[in-house]
Amino acid sequence: MDPHSTGDLFSDEALQQPARREQIGEQSYVLRGYALPWLERLLPELRAVLAQSPFRQMVTPGGFTMSAALSSCGDLGWTTDRQGYRYSPIDPERHQPWPALPNVLRELATTAAAAAGFEGFAPDACLINRYVPGARMSLHQDKNERDFSAPVVSLSLGLPAVFLFGGHQRSDKTQKTSLFHGDVVVWGGVDRLRFHGVLPIKHGVHPRMGPQRINLTFRKAG
């Protein structure tokens, strides 16, 4: 091969950021840019899911409308209304099953979990949150799942967010981590029930995703 050839330097792979793994808890990691190489396959599938089950705003048991709009895919979808939080196999808006979890999403979640030390993650629920600027997610625990041995895998797309990662009490101090397009966060094991949330999204327009942030959280719920 011609040693002066620059072909390799300019290949897509050479331009890809090396994946960086940042530890944010004993069993919690931010995988920087982990999903970037998947997005060409992933975004059309996500678009198809959302065409079937569009984003909608849900009400909490306390009667507040969530600022993030929600949808789901997979066997189970997370929902909230005046009656409570729960997982349901049926999209309550369409009275039909949620769209199937696309293979590319399942593969991404399984390999990201493995990269964070959780082998064999088999998600059956993918919650899709849409944040327009100003929308937020207050501190909460993911605890509607049947068993907590599986981790939570969270993919960020579009506008950046400040992710709050707290402790096991709502009042515990939180650490702040900025999450960017293509980042994946995985938390599980001793960290599985830690409080977490997202500060209000700042105004902006993402070149690929527009004026919004979309977050997908994969869980084993059933």
Exactly one of 91, 124, 142, 183 binds Fe ion (CB under 5 A); that residue is 142
What is the rounded CA–CA span in Å between residue 143 and residue 131? 22
Q: Using the rule CB under 6 A, is 79 a contact of ligand SIN?
A: no
Q: Is 140 annotated as a binding residue?
A: yes
What is the rounded CA–CA span in Å between residue 173 and residue 11? 44
Question: Least Å distance between CB 71 and ligand SIN?
Answer: 12
78 binds, among ligand SIN, Fe ion, none (CB under 5 to 8 A by kind): none
Q: Using the rule CB under 5 A, is 145 a contact of Fe ion?
A: no
**Residues within window 159-198 making contact with ligand SIN, judged by CB under 6 A:** 161, 163, 196, 198
72 binds, among ligand SIN, Fe ion, none (CB under 5 to 8 A by kind): none
Retrieve residue 216's tokens: 């997908």
Helical H segments across 147-192, by residue range: none
Provide the terminal-to-terminal Cα distance of the chain, rounded to the nearest Å: 54
129 binds, among ligand SIN, Fe ion, none (CB under 5 to 8 A by kind): ligand SIN
Please name which of 142, 144, 106 lies closest in space to residue 124, comparing C-alpha atoms.
106
Counting beta carbons within 10 angstroms of the beta carbon of residue 89, is it exposed (0 to 12), middle (13 to 18) or buried (19 or more)? middle
Q: Using the rule CB under 6 A, is 53 a contact of ligand SIN?
A: no
Helical H segments across the chain, by residue range: 12-15, 39-52, 103-115
Q: Is 196 annotated as a binding residue?
A: yes
Q: Residue with CB nearest ligand SIN?
A: 215
Number of residues that bind ligand SIN (CB under 6 A): 10
Q: Using the rule CB under 6 A, is 72 a contact of ligand SIN?
A: no
Q: Is 181 annotated as a binding residue?
A: no
Nearer CB in complex with Fe ion: 85/180:
85
Retrieve residue 53's tokens: 């089950």
Phi, psi of 191 (to 5 degrees): -100, 0
Phi, psi of 92 (to 5 degrees): -65, -20
Nearer CB in complex with ligand SIN: 5/65:
65
Please name which of 200, 62, 2, 38 lies closest in space to residue 111, comparing C-alpha atoms.
38
Question: Least Å distance between CB 137 and ligand SIN?
Answer: 5
The type of residue at 44 is P
Interface positions with ligand SIN (CB under 6 A): 127, 129, 137, 154, 161, 163, 196, 198, 215, 217
Binding residues for Fe cation: 140, 142, 196
